[in-house]
Amino acid sequence: MTGTNHFERCAQVMREHGMSDMAVAQFGHLYDVWANGSEATWIREADVEPLQDVPSFHDIYETIDHDRAVDAFAKTAFIKLNGGLGTSMGLSCAKSLLPVRRHKARQMRFIDIILGQVVTARDRLGVPLPLTLMNSFRTSSDTLKVLESNIRFHQDDIPVEIVQHQEPKIDVETGEPVRWPDRPELAWCPPGHGDLYSTLWESGLLDILWDKGLRYLFISNSDNLGARPSRTLAQYFENTGAPFMAEVAVRTEADRKGGHVVRDRRTGRLMLREMSQVHPDDRADAQNIRRHPYFNTNSVWIRIDALRDLLERHHGVLPLPVIVNNKTVDPTDPSSRKVVQLETAMGAAISLFDGAICVQVDRMRFLPVKTTNDLFIMRSDRFHLTDAFEMEDGNYIFPNVDLDQRFYKNIDDFNERFPYNVPSLAAANSVHIEGDWTFGQNVVFYGDAVLKDQGRPSYVPNGEFVGPQGIEPDEWLV
């Protein structure tokens, strides 16, 4: 079913699509691993050791000379992974263009807050802090327009974007690139954020940064507003001399199914293990948060010279573990043709560096928005967006939010049902909404707030309180 001839067909289609030799070589690595058997994609529990005793941000904060830390920060470049469209929320544009909340009457998107963090750090600390976005072919144009229109953000000597590669989805039955004439764009997909490394190599950005005196990369997702530039972590990373540092956080039950860092018993190196790489027989151990207490935030620090040397040894294509995603060619139609999408994870490069380390960070550095449930919290009164463009909360312990996916999963549906802003969550332990509810102004959730499905579109009037029994009654009880 699979083999050299099938890959050559993939390579041919990629070249016809205008893709570079580097893009073809990168996909060739993924295809070869997949074609030679899925067992190569498992990271078995018996082959790894749990990660233990990671130094915390609070511990290292006390050891840093914060005046000197500006020197390390001045040698740091900021890279944001910005290739996602936010299709899980019904978006057709870059997720970073989604409004998060207002700040001084202005609607702020992810990208606006990111730019605000960069400009603030430059102004207050006098550091260059160049920002480069890794866009996809779908997010590049819209995002660049935002950068060009921002009157405070200027960057002329270092590219503001690199564009990640594309790859064909593979027809499960034939091993060849899938064909989908009705919507040809659905035959293509990104190769995961592990593609960053080949894209960096091909773009020449590492050499540009090095020539400008930059020595470190700080890389994170654009939908994680907690992953802001940090001079403390820059100085700590420099002090350790490590080639690679991953930010990890302590797992809770809500993080059981996320990627976590382990140690390879054979090599002693750290490894990132995504749940898609966990064998079914190992699932219980992998989801045991006491056995594996840290999850990957997908924020990493890398020495530019170490990464450049590694990429040179591998001719620009790092031998990262391959993640096999079984999907349908049209993700909205489960009856459409079955395909495989092959990906790699950026954090998986930790296994390729001797002396790689982790640092434990608080939840304030991990504020991802993957669903409208997350956005609901981010837009609520739990957060304050400061003048330094930092998303601040009192304790970063948030209520569990479960919104009826029939009516709130799509961003347009979500916005329609919260026309004035989302209700107050300051006193809420959890929120569970069943059915089609629209909310007036100044609604307050408290305790374990529940709204039951009324079987028809329903409305919560202005100023109401919603708790464990639903909307509080208006009448006095005597």
Rounded to whole angstroms, how far apart are CA atoms 179 and 165? Answer: 19
pLDDT over 50 at 319, yes or no: yes
Amino acid identity of residue 244, one-letter, is F
Q: With H, G, I as helix, E, B as strand and everything else as coil, classify residue 394.
A: coil
Q: Evaluate whether 237 touches 353 at the Cβ level (below 8 Å).
A: no
Q: Residue 310 is which amino acid?
A: L
Whether residue 41 is predicted with pLDDT greater than 80 in this model: the reply is no
Alpha-carbon dihedral sign for residues 319, 320, 326, 331: negative
Q: How many whole angstroms separate alpha carbon 344 and alpha carbon 192?
A: 5
Q: What are phi and psi of 262, to 5 degrees?
A: -130, 175
Got the DSSP string for 277-314?
GS-GGGHHHHT-TTTS-EEEEEEEEEEHHHHHHHHHHT
Q: Which of 112, 30, 27 is nearest to 324 (CA)?
A: 30
Interatomic CA distance for residues 283 and 93, integer angstroms: 35
Question: Is the per-residue pLDDT at 424 higher than 80?
Answer: yes
Of 182 and 316, more confident = 316
Residues near 25 by Cβ (< 8 Å), separated by ≥ 6? 198, 315, 316, 317
Partners of 279 in the β-ladder: none
Cα distances (Å, whole numbers) of residue 412 to 222, 277, 316, 436: 21, 34, 41, 14
**Cα separation, 169 vs 292, whole angstroms:** 33
Cβ proximity of 125 and 70 under 8 Å? yes
Within 10 angstroms of residue 413's Cβ, the number of other Cβ atoms is 18
In angstroms, the CA 226 to CA 233 distance is 14
CA distance 449 to 433: 8
If you average pLDDT over residues 137-147, what whole number do you get? 93
pLDDT tens figures, 386-416: 999 999 998 998 999 999 999 999 999 999 9
The pLDDT tens digits of the residues spanning 52-68 come to 989 999 999 998 988 88
For the residues 26-37, what does the mean pLDDT come to?
Answer: 89
Distance CA 429, CA 377 (A): 12
pLDDT at 1: 47
Confidence at residue 40, expressed as pLDDT on a 0 to 100 scale: 53
Give the mean model confidence (pLDDT) for residues 125-139: 94
C-alpha angle 419-89-278 in degrees, rounded to nearest 5: 145
And the tokens for 416?
A: 């329609």
**pTM for this predicted structure:** 0.93
The pLDDT of residue 278 is 92
Token couple for 186 = 């659905």
Share of the chain above pLDDT 70, in %: 97
Hunting for tokens 């349908």 — which residue is that?
328
Give the tokens for residue 476.
Answer: 């006095």
Q: What is the pLDDT of residues 345-391, one digit of tens each?
A: 999 999 999 999 999 999 999 999 999 999 999 999 999 999 999 99
Residue 347 zone, left/alpha/beta (φ > 0; ψ -120 to 50; rest): alpha
